[in-house]
Structure 1
């Protein structure tokens, strides 16, 4: 993900209503509070400057994508989710090979529900966080719709909407320089087997102090933090490579395929096999189960 300051003087198109998109809608489900839409662009294109009437989350499933808003250009990789409030004017570019997207839009009723919960955050984009896994699970549910899916999706959307809330700011404890070195090591070597004592020795602090400060700053243990890093690495590997899951498990530092499957399922909400199928290219036919 890259971003840089730019200027844009493109013709402004009318605002798009909920469920309206540039691109082919492959599948859709609408409810009183939200609209789920899977969208496909068969080839690269530059879209007119526009805004959406509804607040929405968007997941880049496949391809390359860039958008410009508030004078800044953002370039997204697959498995990036972004959130926009209603009326944000943006200018989009789909990569030369096209792309696939999944959008979760809030209707007026859904927006009212969010407003009752509290003020929403400004526009943001994230990778490897809870909002990404929520969005992937919603796409999986849309593609495998069953009678119970309505309730499942309703709860997932409500949980995901909570990620758009702006919570009261809490005092942020400054991160010691030595802790930054520990975190960088975890990011550089997520597939290694780390020990708190060894990390503390390299940082020059006592293991008890490391464990305590790490939880205070990151609100989770070192092991939990590393688990999320491995799952994020696994998601990107499954997107790019078609290797046996047992081999992927060993490469990513899991004990075996069963351990990999259990941890991945705990974090993402589906098995690695289901996640891999979710990201594979689909046929272009338009299938709208519930418009």
Structure 2
């Protein structure tokens, strides 16, 4: 017999808060996952919310590309899902909006996504990580936290699609990048795998994904680095090489530019003990 679906009230999740702040327009919490994957069943929430997995492997039924790196999900009110951590020890940020507040935000935007979404763009991840870092500092003022929460909310506000569908070769190119990003590859290699001209490839990427192929390649490498920082025990230098970066300082620069934090800072947000090397310290001081 199937287990009954749970409908969580605002701010309630399968987790115990380590830090929690209730503000006029948004409720913020950093939580420790308390339920095993087998015991997480299909459920819904009364509120619209965002979840950023900061430690552990997180599975989600949300629509979107299945990428590595920090998993960031938007769930509208009432959407049934079964998002969960694979193993014990997971931590996550939860950003919740009461239904009335979310309706008001929706009315002033062109469109709010009606389905659960994986948010994989750098702006969304950067906003979520900034909010996590600020919340965990424990001394942030309410205005800052509320502003960051609303900035994250904006990532679920999407423009109306023109109804076109991306060409099949784009999925082929993305699969090639996912399989080869840790190798020294060129744009011509991607175009050859997709069987299109490099110029056609570049135009298609910009139109459909809003980014150049090189930017997508960098994103894949950063996602792998973030995933290894969340789950592994390797040094940042080893992670840089395993992710396709030429060295640690290259990873440091790209990671901070994309996510707004250094790899060492990200590792600490994930709750992972890590000895930060002089290279890491120098990059942070230069910022």
Band of TM-score, shorter chain: 0.7 to 0.9
Superposition pairs of residues 113-152 of structure 1, within 5 angstroms: 113-126=105-118, 128-130=120-122, 131-147=124-140, 150-152=142-144
Q: Is the 2:205–2:211 contact (alpha carbons within 8 Å) kept by the matching residues of 1?
A: yes
Q: Which residue of 2 aligns with 1:269?
A: 260
Deviation of 1:276 (Å) = 0.8
Which of 46, 52, 66 is matched with 1:59 structurally?
52
Which of 184, 188, 194 is matched with 1:193 structurally?
184
State how far apart, in whole Å, the 1-side matches of 2:196 and 2:42 are.
53
Q: Is the 1:36–1:102 contact (alpha carbons within 8 Å) kept by the matching residues of 2?
A: yes
Count of paired positions? 267
In structure 2, relative to structure 1, the CA distance for the partners of 1:154 and 1:266 (3 Å cut) is farther
In structure 2, relative to structure 1, the CA distance for the partners of 1:79 and 1:255 (3 Å cut) is closer
Q: CA RMSD in A?
A: 3.5
Q: How far does the alpha carbon of each residue in 1:104-146 deviate from its partner, in whole angstroms, 9 at most, with x for none?
A: 0113445422332244212314264443443232112111144
76-85 or 179-188: which moved more?
76-85
Deviation of 1:156 (Å) = 2.8
Structure ID, larger Rg: 1
Q: TM-score, length-normalised on structure 1?
A: 0.75
Deviation of 1:226 (Å) = 0.7
Higher strand share: 1
Superposition pairs of residues 147-158 of structure 1, within 5 angstroms: 147=140, 150-158=142-150
In structure 2, relative to structure 1, the CA distance for the partners of 1:19 and 1:189 (3 Å cut) is same
Q: Is the 2:51–2:72 contact (alpha carbons within 8 Å) kept by the matching residues of 1?
A: yes
Q: Which residue of 2 aligns with 1:257?
A: 248
Which of 220, 224, 241 is matched with 1:233 structurally?
224
Q: TM-score, length-normalised on structure 2?
A: 0.76
What SS class does the counterpart of residue 97 from structure 1 fall into?
A: coil
State how far apart, in whole Å, the 2-side matches of 1:63 and 1:256 are.
25
Deviation of 1:35 (Å) = 0.7
In structure 2, relative to structure 1, the CA distance for the partners of 1:22 and 1:124 (3 Å cut) is closer
Residue ranges of structure 1 left out of the alignment (5+ in a row) = 1-6, 70-74, 283-291
Is residue 27 of structure 1 aligned with residue 19 of structure 2? yes
In structure 2, relative to structure 1, the CA distance for the partners of 1:33 and 1:249 (3 Å cut) is same
State how far apart, in whole Å, the 1-side matches of 2:184 and 2:82 are.
44
Residue ranges of structure 2 left out of the alignment (5+ in a row) = 274-287
